[in-house]
């Protein structure tokens, strides 16, 4: 028997989905197992199908939901009041019409399983190890946490997948990112990935698929792994992946759309073959020591402008850096600690799962947020919302003075009217601190749910370890 | 897709690195269900003051920028979201090429699918172009050569399939549809 060369997790998934391998003159034709669509990046794709008179070729491989521009106020979600933003209402209606006409399953606005597309995929058991998953959204990298090859695509490619279930792709390079040591108390997956982006830079992963590995990654629960893979795109990477293991299988077992019975056993057997072989070669390797990581916070206008929460804003000569600090209203050498905060947002596909809400509630329980501060808690899905309510987390947030909303992308990108005001400081558990991301002139400080909760309590940038009772 | 074979234009320069897609087209303009008309909102929060007036000092607002088809930008242009509205907005404004030393993956892919050329230049030429706004450049897609005003010829990488599609004005969908037989065979064999 021929002994095959050792392969990485990525190579195994890639090769299994090559309909036609790449050549010098043409990219590979890559098969897509699961296509997720939403209201913002799909209308023009359906329009293209209509123009060409094409059907959706494999409608059962596409699932639609609504999350980006949808309201988070209960009455607007459940029909008690019209959607306040007419253009958003129009997108919702158009997705309903497109799904009905083309035979695509839709989880509509009032559906009990609706939510942020990258929260519901794993939650429903649709995102599975070894599969290829695409969506017209860059944070599709989230699904790599289950050992899938998952990446964001543009609207033209959404049309390609709808019409052919395939994409034309050049094979990306691989980057092994190994995390050793141990995360300290009060330091979580969000701090880890912010630290990684600070190390390799916002363009550091361009052209690569990152495989996160090593003892710290193996020790993370599934939701933490999703937080890590989610922000792969913030390092410019095409995708992030983590080898499936017992944690993955335990998470997926029994989920409504995961395989069952004999099919589960067969799937499990195939999934166990997926982890990178010993000796598999990566194009690049990066090592990170978890023990060096503290609670992290961003101070600038991209996620690579990040530092330990107790640090000082660095000095750098270039004009763009100075302009970014000017936008943020910060100066080089200034500490961020104790800086006033106007808004705290707990939500987004990065940090709006049950464990994130528990983490925030841990600090908020029995306390009140600072006077004058606005805190918005937006669960990642309607299922997360119900699970949180069943353990009383909604009461914790409400009694602390926070707003408890229906699920959606909300203030992460402010398409639905959940906005941060001009000049205001927002400590946000989302993924992007770009200029204007949370509203024109809004100043975003990215942090973990634990740090965000600490900041909400004091109204200032606060090291959560001070409130946990441990030494900072 | 409109074919692109050769481009001769002066450049507009935005020297910042990491110009993200939220900067190119802020999310509040993504509520459209059309592809057209986004040029008016290109770089909206940069180009217009809060009262809606154009900022005179923003490079795209200068009269000499109005008919430029080549945008030169700092590294990692187009990072961030997958919104194809970013290349749609650039094209609608009149750009046909973006030149940088590094361009983000999804933006690059989206641009090629719409006839906007993402053009990667080496550090030294990138630095020269950033320092010389308004330089007249010639871009030849067939030979993959960018020519600077002094005649310096700068070869640039372009994936051969994408190059073919740009030159002919073809989109990839026809190519994929013609291979659905192979896809069906793949599905049966799994």
Taking only the tens place, the pLDDT of each residue in B149-160 is 999 999 999 999
Nearest C-alpha in A relative to B188: A19
Q: What is the value of ipTM here, to two decimals?
A: 0.96
Q: How far is B65 from chain A (nearest CA, A)?
A: 21
Cβ atoms within 10 Å, residue A84: 13
Q: Do residues A234 and A348 both lie within one domain?
A: no
Residue A200 lies in a domain: yes
A328 and A456 assigned to the same domain? yes
Q: At what angle do helices A382-390 and A354-364 cross, to 10 degrees?
A: 40
Token pair for residue A129? 């190890």
**Domain assignment present for A257:** no
Inter-chain touch A436–B45, beta carbons under 8 Å: yes
Tell me what pLDDT residue A1 has.
47
A165 and A179 share one domain = no
Helix (H) or strand (E) holding B120: strand B117-120
| A427 and A365 in a common domain | yes
A403: its two tokens: 């707003």
| Residue of B62, B106, B65, B55 lying closest to B85 (CA atoms) | B106
For residue range B39-98, list pLDDT tens digits in order: 999 999 999 999 999 999 999 999 999 899 999 999 999 999 999 999 999 999 999 999
CATH number for the domain including A164? 3.30.499.10
Q: Which residues contact A376 (CB under 8 A, 6 or more apart)?
A: A72, A343, A344, A345, A346, A347, A402, A403, A405, A410, A411, A418
Residues from chain A that touch B183, judged by Cβ atoms under 8 A, are 19, 29, 31, 164-166
Q: Are residues A182 and A164 part of one domain?
A: no
| Closest among A297, A303, A57 to A197, alpha carbons compared | A303
The tokens for A14 are: 């890639």
Domain annotation covers residue A251: no
DSSP state of A412: G
Comparing alpha-carbon positions, the chain B residue that sits nearest to A98 is B33
Same domain, A88 and A206: no
> Are A203 and B102 a contacting pair at CB < 8 A?
yes
Residues A325 and A239 in one domain: no
CA distance B77 to chain A (A): 9
Which of A104, A138, A169 terminates a domain? The answer is A169
> Which of A154, A436, A441 is closest, CB to CB, to B82?
A154
φ, ψ dihedrals at A65, nearest 5°: -140, 175
Distance CA B101, CA A402 (A): 45
pLDDT value at position A3? Answer: 60
Cα A150–Cα A24–Cα B108 angle in degrees, nearest 5: 45
Domain segments of chain B as ranges:
6-189
Which residue on chain B is closest to A88 by alpha carbon? B31
Residue A472 lies in a domain: no
Residues of B in contact with A94 (CB under 8 A): 33
Query: For residues A44 and B34, is the Cβ–Cβ distance under 8 A?
Result: yes
| Residues A466 and A453 sit within 8 Å (Cβ to Cβ) | no
Q: Residue A371 is part of which domain span?
A: 296-462
CB contact under 8 A, B183 and A29: yes
Distance between CA atoms of residues A395 and A365, nearest Å: 9
Residue A258 lies in a domain: no
Interface test with A, best of B109, B182, B184 (most A CBs within 10 A): B109
Comparing alpha-carbon positions, the chain B residue that sits nearest to A48 is B173
* Closest residue on chain A to B74 (Cα): A320
In A, minimum Cα distance to B31 occurs at A87
Chain A nearest-CA distance from B28, in A, is 5
Spatial neighbors of A237 by CB under 8 A, at least 6 apart, are: A141, A175, A205, A206, A208, A209, A210
In A, minimum Cα distance to B21 occurs at A434
Contact B160 A52 (CB under 8 A): no
- Within a domain: residue A467? no
Q: How many angstroms separate the CA atoms of A159 and A47, rounded?
A: 9
Domain count, chain A: 3
- As given in the structure block, the two tokens for residue A458 are 């004091």
DSSP letter at A183?
P
User: B22–A436: do the CB atoms touch at under 8 Å?
Assistant: yes
Tell me whether residues A435 and B45 touch, CB distance under 8 A: yes
Q: Nearest Cβ partner of B106 from A152, A166, A413?
A: A152
Is the CB of B27 less than 8 angstroms away from the CB of A414?
yes
Closest CA–CA distance from residue B7 to any residue of chain A (Å):
24
Note whether A14 and A163 are same-domain residues.
yes
**Contacts of residue B20 in chain A, CB cutoff 8 Å?**
302, 432, 434
Tens-place pLDDT, residues A126-158? 999 999 999 999 999 999 999 999 999 999 999
What confidence score (pLDDT) does residue A192 get? 98
Of A19, A25, A154, nearest to B84 by CB-CB distance is A154
Q: Cβ–Cβ contacts within 10 Å for residue A260, how many? A: 14
Residue A25 and residue B160: Cβ atoms within 8 Å? yes
Separation of first and last alpha carbons in chain B: 34
- CATH homologous superfamily for B6-189? Aconitase, domain 4 (3.20.19.10)
pLDDT of residue B69: 98
Rg (CA), chain B: 18
| A216 and A161 within one domain | no
| The pLDDT value given to residue A2 | 52
- Each of the 472 residues of chain A gets a pLDDT tens digit; together they read 456 899 999 999 999 999 999 999 999 999 999 999 999 999 999 999 999 999 999 999 999 999 999 999 999 999 999 999 999 999 999 999 999 999 999 999 999 999 999 999 999 999 999 999 999 999 999 999 999 999 999 999 999 999 999 999 999 999 999 999 999 999 999 999 999 999 999 999 999 999 999 999 999 999 999 999 999 999 999 999 999 999 999 999 999 999 999 999 999 999 999 999 999 999 999 999 999 999 999 999 999 999 999 999 999 988 899 999 999 999 999 999 999 999 999 999 999 999 999 999 999 999 999 999 999 999 999 999 999 999 999 999 999 999 999 999 999 999 999 999 999 999 999 999 999 999 999 999 999 999 999 999 999 999 999 999 744 3
A20 with B179: Cβ contact below 8 A:
yes
Closest partner CB to B84 (pick from A155, A302, A437): A155
Same domain, A327 and A421: yes
Please name the residue of chain B whose CA is at the shortest distance from the CA of residue A300.
B18
Contact yes or no for A413 and B171 at CB 8 A: no
d(CA A308, CA A316): 17
Q: Mean of the per-residue pLDDT values for chain A?
A: 97
With CB atoms and an 8 Å threshold, state whether B84 touches A41.
yes
The two most distant CA atoms of chain A are separated, in Å, by 71
Give the model's pLDDT for residue A472.
39
- Residue A57 with chain B: CB contacts under 8 Å: 180
Residues A226, A307 within the same domain: no
Backbone angles phi, psi at A133, to 5 degrees: -130, 130
Contact at CB, A415 and B30, closer than 8 angstroms: yes
- For residues A326 and A287, membership in a common domain is answered with no
Smallest Cα–Cα separation from A119: which of A239, A233, A236, A227?
Answer: A227
Q: Return the number of CB contacts < 8 Å for A and B.
A: 172
């Amino acid at each position: 028997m021929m002994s095959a060369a050792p392969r990485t997790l990525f190579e195994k998934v890639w090769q299994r989905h090559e309909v036609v391998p790449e050549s010098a003159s043409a990219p590979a034709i890559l098969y897509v197992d699961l296509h997720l669509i939403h209201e913002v990046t799909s209308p023009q794709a359906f329009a293209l199908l209509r123009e060409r008179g094409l059907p959706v070729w494999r409608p059962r491989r596409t699932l639609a939901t609504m999350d980006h521009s949808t309201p988070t106020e209960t009455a607007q979600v459940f029909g008690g009041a019209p959607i306040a933003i007419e253009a958003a209402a129009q997108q919702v209606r158009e997705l309903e019409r497109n799904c009905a006409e083309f035979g695509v399953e839709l989880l509509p606005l009032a559906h009990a399983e609706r939510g942020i597309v990258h929260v519901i995929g794993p939650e429903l058991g649709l995102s599975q190890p070894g599969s290829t998953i695409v969506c017209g959204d860059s944070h599709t990298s989230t699904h790599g946490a289950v050992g899938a090859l998952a990446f964001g695509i543009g609207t033209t490619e959404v049309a390609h997948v709808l019409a052919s279930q395939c994409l034309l792709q050049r094979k990306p390079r691989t980057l092994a990112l190994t995390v050793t040591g141990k995360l300290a108390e009060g330091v979580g997956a969000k701090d880890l990935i912010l630290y990684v982006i600070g190390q390799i830079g916002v363009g550091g992963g361009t052209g690569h698929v990152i495989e996160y590995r090593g003892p710290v990654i193996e020790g993370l629960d599934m939701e933490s792994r999703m937080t890590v893979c989610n922000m792969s795109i913030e390092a410019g990477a095409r995708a992030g992946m983590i080898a499936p293991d017992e944690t993955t299988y335990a998470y997926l077992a029994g989920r409504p759309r995961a395989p069952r019975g004999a099919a589960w056993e067969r799937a499990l057997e195939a999934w166990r073959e997926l982890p990178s072989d010993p000796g598999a070669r990566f194009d690049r390797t990066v090592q990170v020591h978890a023990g060096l990581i503290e609670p992290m916070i961003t101070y600038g206008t991209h996620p690579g402008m990040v530092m330990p929460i107790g640090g000082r804003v660095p000095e750098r000569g270039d004009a763009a850096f100075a302009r970014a600090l000017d936008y943020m209203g910060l100066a080089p050498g200034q500490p961020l600690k104790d800086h006033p905060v106007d808004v705290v947002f707990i939500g987004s596909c990065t940090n709006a799962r049950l464990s994130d809400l528990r983490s925030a509630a841990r600090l908020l329980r029995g306390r009140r947020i600072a006077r004058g501060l606005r805190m918005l808690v937006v669960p990642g899905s309607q299922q997360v919302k119900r699970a949180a309510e069943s353990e009383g987390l909604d009461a914790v947030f409400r009694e602390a003075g926070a707003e408890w909303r229906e699920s959606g992308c909300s203030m992460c990108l402010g398409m639905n009217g959940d906005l941060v005001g001009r000049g205001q400081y927002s400590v946000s558990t989302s993924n992007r601190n770009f200029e204007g991301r949370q509203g024109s002139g809004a100043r975003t400080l990215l942090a973990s749910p634990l740090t965000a909760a600490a900041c909400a309590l004091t109204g200032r940038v606060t090291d959560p370890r001070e409130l946990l009772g441990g030494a900072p | 897709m409109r074919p692109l074979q050769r481009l001769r234009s002066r450049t507009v320069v935005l020297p910042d690195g990491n110009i993200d897609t939220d900067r190119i087209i802020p999310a509040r303009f993504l509520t459209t269900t059309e592809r057209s008309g986004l040029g008016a909102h290109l770089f909206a929060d940069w180009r217009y003051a809060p009262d809606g007036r154009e900022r005179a000092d923003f490079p795209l607002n200068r009269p000499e920028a109005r008919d430029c088809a080549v945008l030169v930008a700092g590294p990692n242009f187009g990072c961030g979201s997958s919104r194809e509205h970013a290349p749609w907005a650039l094209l609608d404004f009149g750009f046909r090429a973006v030149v940088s030393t590094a361009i983000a993956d999804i933006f690059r892919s989206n641009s090629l699918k719409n006839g906007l050329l993402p053009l990667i230049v080496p550090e030294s030429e990138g630095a020269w172009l950033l320092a010389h706004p308004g330089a007249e450049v010639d871009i030849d897609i067939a030979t993959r050569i960018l020519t600077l005003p002094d005649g310096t010829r700068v070869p640039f990488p372009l994936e051969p399939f994408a190059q073919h599609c740009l030159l002919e004005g073809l989109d990839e969908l026809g190519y994929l549809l013609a291979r659905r037989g192979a896809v069906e065979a793949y599905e049966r064999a799994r």
